[in-house]
Amino acid sequence: MIRGRAWTFGNNVDTDQIIPAKYAIYSLDEKKLGEHAMEGVPGNEDGWSKKISAGDILVAGSNFGCGSSREIAPVAIRGAGVSVVVADSFARIFFRNSINLGFPILQSPQAAEAIKEGDELEIDLDEGVIRNFTQGDEYRCDAFPPFMNELIKMGGLVPWVRERLKERAQASA
Amino acid sequence: MGMTMSEKILARAAGRDSVRPGDLLLAKIDFAMGHDLTIPPAGKIMREQMGAQKVWDVDRVAVVQDHFQPAKDIASAGLGRMTREFAREMGIKWYFEVGQGGICHTVLPERGLVLPGELVVGADSHSCTYGALNNFATGIGSTDLACVMALGELWFRVPESLRFVYHHKLPQWVEAKDLILHVIGTIGVDGARSKAMEHTGDAIAHIDMEGRLTMTNMAIEAGAKNGIIGFDEVTREFLEGRAQRAYTPVDSDPDAEYEKTFEFDAEAIPITLARPMSPDHTAPIDEVAGTRLDQVFIGSCTNSKIGDLRRAAAVLKGRHIAPHVRLIVTPSSAQVAREAEREGLIGIFMDAGAGWTVATCGACLGGHMGVVGAGEVCLSTSNRNFPGRMGDPTAQVYLSNPVVAAASAVAGEIVHPKEVVGRELVYA
């Protein structure tokens, strides 16, 4: 169960806004990336992550994470302390990257529409339910195919590949 | 039920007779690419976290130094070094050093590394570019690339296909760039989200391979998973003497299913620009003409191949850019630069007052050699203009084709090229 405060964003927030390209030089440093997360969103020039408490929830509109393929986009959001991203919809590479990293994302047009900045939320990832304590409401999330849920539960693509490599080594032994 | 060309490629790569949109597959990769921003994390994840010590096939991976190279600062020198060492230690056959390659999305097609019928992935969002060569090509992240390099396989969701049919022929001054901007302006930056964009129709036959690569390059700007074009005489000629492997073209079945078909009369497409700050914020040139410019950038994987530079040079020959404007010309590959030198184009650019740079992604992603400052107005031939893409988030970036860019540099403001060159473009 995840509990946290909502931070809201609009539609088509692209990866250059999530983490401006100039910070790509920190691609191997999650904490440093986290410090600059969402800084490219107009109005956040002076930093966003310092306002975040660990576990807070990012809520966005449609096509969240469009633009480049940079995996540092979900990494930066995670590095800032965000526990889960809820959006009306995700751009596909951001979606893939999050699942591959085992970083929870939820698609819920209903939640994206209703949640206001500062709302206190509780998320049950297994049930796919978001509870809004501030508004006294509850939203359902779109279900992912079983393979994607399996990847998120395993902790992402890394453990999955380790398993495959092990199977191959056994098969050729 | 028939299949689209995208479905056929995924089915073949997954070892299945047929696939449907929504199917999840594990598919074999024919070619993979990473660059100086994505190889360092991918290499580290592959070796340290996944525990793979070698790449599945050293002949089927390209590593390109292009984004922040030649190194723009000490940190990017570190990324360049990690990229170089990874390629050397893995024995990667297709490694492209600074000065010898250029931008990955120009280098791979020009070296015949991405071929019809293949499943290609690249750790860069514009990897969809390769689909102009009748393959299924898509951008992936660094963990994805680590998986591909370790196993030679990756998971995919079969996309729904959208068909774009272009009738007749593009009119004078209107290029492939204008056409794809017009399409993106029509359907929006999420109009093809996670879907396949298949381009077809009479107009495509008249568009050369460079123009087709410009169109598929920008599939991601509509949110698409891939952009793809059928195999024809233009494809065959382009690959002659170039293809590094034997290949098998694919075509969509007549009864293939499309989620939606869009039809356009190519003859009616105007010169189209994207206004700040989104590629779908498009306008015909009449609506943006007169916008005063600080910088013009002719570069990027979208519009800086040799034909683009020839047309830009034809505008600039014997002319000089406006005193308040700076023009930066960045060729998209070393081969393009060599050819530009041979044809005397570099001299034309320099005489016109332009700065000519080494082949690199450079200013397109606000990396180096043309980053724009607060409040500046830039006209760029690149592919996306989201806030902060080329530098300061308050900079105003417009996107256009290279002829409009060159003419506007001369005028000092966005202008229809005929205002600068007269009735038609005259080549040297």
- CATH number of A9's domain: 3.20.19.10
Q: What tens digit of pLDDT does each residue of B61-107 get?
A: 999 999 999 999 999 999 999 999 999 999 999 999 999 999 999 99
CA B188 to CA B74: how far, in whole Å? 38
CA B357 to CA B378: how far, in whole Å? 17
Question: What ipTM describes this predicted complex?
Answer: 0.95
Q: Looking at residues B241-259, what average pLDDT do you find?
A: 98
In a domain, A63, yes or no: yes
Residues of chain B neighbouring A28 (CB-CB closer than 8 A): 40-41, 44
Cα B70 from chain centroid? 20
pLDDT at residue B187 tops 70:
yes
A120 bridge partner residues = A5
In a domain, B27, yes or no: yes
In a domain, A74, yes or no: yes
Please indicate if any CB of chain B lies within 8 Å of the CB of A62. Answer: yes
The number of beta carbons lying within 10 Å of the beta carbon of residue A13 is 27
Give the angle subtended at the CA of B178 by the CAs of B209 and B278, to the nearest 5°. 115
DSSP structural state of residue B221: G
Range with the poorest average pLDDT among A67-71, B208-212, B232-236: A67-71
Out of A72, A92, A165, name the one closest to residue B193 (CB).
Answer: A92
Q: What tens digit of pLDDT does each residue of B251-270 get?
A: 999 999 999 999 999 999 99
In a domain, A126, yes or no: yes
Cα B357 from chain centroid? 19
Mutate to test the interface with A, among B127, B365, B369 (most CBs of A within 10 A): B365
Output the CA torsion sign for B397, B400, B402, B403: negative
Residues spanned by the domain of B71: 5-244+258-264
**Same domain flag for B198 and B335:** no
CA B377 to CA B391: how far, in whole Å? 11
Q: Give the residue from chain B lying closest to A101, CA to CA.
A: B143
**Same domain flag for B73 and B186:** yes
Please indicate if any CB of chain A lies within 8 Å of the CB of B185. Answer: no
**Residue reference for tokens 């209703």:** A114
In a domain, B426, yes or no: no
Domain of B409, CATH number, reads 3.30.499.10
Total domains, chain A: 1
**Same domain flag for B281 and B199:** no
Query: Which 3 state secondary structure label does DSSP give A102?
Result: coil
**Same domain flag for B306 and B384:** yes
For chain A, report the end-to-end CA distance as a whole number of angstroms.
42
In a domain, B49, yes or no: yes
**Same domain flag for B302 and B411:** yes
**Same domain flag for B319 and B403:** yes
pLDDT interval class at A62 (50, 70, 90): very high
DSSP structural state of residue A21: G
* CB of B96 closer than 8 Å to CB of B67: no
pLDDT at residue B20 tops 70:
yes
pLDDT interval class at A146 (50, 70, 90): confident
Domain boundary residue among B264, B298, B325? B264
Q: At A102, give phi and psi (nearest 5°).
A: 70, 25
- Helix (H) / strand (E) element for B21: namely none
**Same domain flag for B196 and B301:** no
In a domain, B79, yes or no: yes
Q: What tens digit of pLDDT does each residue of A4-42 get?
A: 999 999 999 999 999 998 899 898 899 999 999 999 998
pLDDT for A120 equals: 98
Please indicate if any CB of chain A lies within 8 Å of the CB of B366. Answer: yes
**Residue reference for tokens 């479905």:** B7
CA B67 to CA B52: how far, in whole Å? 26
Q: Looking at residues B364-376, what average pLDDT do you find?
A: 96
In a domain, B422, yes or no: no
**Same domain flag for B110 and B218:** yes
Residues spanned by the domain of A28: 2-142
Mutate to test the interface with A, among B45, B69, B79, B156 (most CBs of A within 10 A): B45
Residues of chain B neighbouring A47 (CB-CB closer than 8 A): none
Query: How high is the mean pLDDT of chain B?
Result: 97
CA B159 to CA B406: how far, in whole Å? 38
- The closest of B21, B90, B105 to B60, measured between CA atoms, is B90
| Tokens found for residue B217 | 């390059």
**Same domain flag for B186 and B284:** no
Total domains, chain B: 2
CA B377 to CA B375: how far, in whole Å? 7
Helix and strand tally (H, E) in chain A? Answer: 7, 7
In a domain, A171, yes or no: no
pLDDT interval class at B428 (50, 70, 90): low
- Helix (H) / strand (E) element for A123: namely strand A120-124
Q: What tens digit of pLDDT does each residue of B77-86 get?
A: 999 999 999 9
Q: What tens digit of pLDDT does each residue of B37-53 get?
A: 999 999 999 999 999 99
Please indicate if any CB of chain B lies within 8 Å of the CB of A93. Answer: yes
Q: Looking at residues B10-18, what average pLDDT do you find?
A: 98
The DSSP result for B61-91, as a single string, is EEEE--SSTTTSSHHHHHHHHHHHHHHHHHT
CA B38 to CA A76: how far, in whole Å? 15
Note whether B387 contacts A17, CB cutoff 8 Å: yes
**Same domain flag for B192 and B309:** no
B119 bridge partner residues = B136
Please indicate if any CB of chain A lies within 8 Å of the CB of B27. Answer: no
**Same domain flag for B98 and B152:** yes
CA atoms within 13 A on the CB side of B126: 24
In a domain, B421, yes or no: no
Q: Looking at residues B340-354, what average pLDDT do you find?
A: 98
In a domain, A163, yes or no: no
Give how far B309 is from chain A: nearest CA, Å. 25
Residues of chain A neighbouring B367 (CB-CB closer than 8 A): 21-22
DSSP structural state of residue A133: T
CA B114 to CA B105: how far, in whole Å? 10
Q: Looking at residues B380-386, what average pLDDT do you find?
A: 97
Please indicate if any CB of chain B lies within 8 Å of the CB of A63. Answer: yes
Domain boundary residue among B236, B264, B292? B264
Q: At B265, give phi and psi (nearest 5°).
A: -90, 105
Q: Give the residue from chain B lying closest to A145, CA to CA.
A: B24
Please indicate if any CB of chain A lies within 8 Å of the CB of B50. Answer: yes
pLDDT interval class at B214 (50, 70, 90): very high
Q: Give the residue from chain A lying closest to B43, CA to CA.
A: A28
The DSSP result for B346-388, as a single string, is HHHHHHTTPEE--SSSGGGGT-SSS-B-TT-EEEESSS---TT
In a domain, A156, yes or no: no
Q: Looking at residues B173-197, what average pLDDT do you find?
A: 98
Mutate to test the interface with A, among B37, B53, B154, B157 (most CBs of A within 10 A): B37
Give the angle subtended at the CA of A137 by the CAs of A132 and A140, to the nearest 5°. 85
In a domain, A79, yes or no: yes
| Tokens found for residue B256 | 């293939």
For chain B, report the end-to-end CA distance as a whole number of angstroms.
52
Residues shown for chain B: 428
- Sheet containing B326-329, strands listed edge to edge, beginning at the edge strand earlier in sequence: B282-284, B272-274, B396-399, B377-380, B295-298, B326-329, B355-356
pLDDT interval class at A145 (50, 70, 90): confident
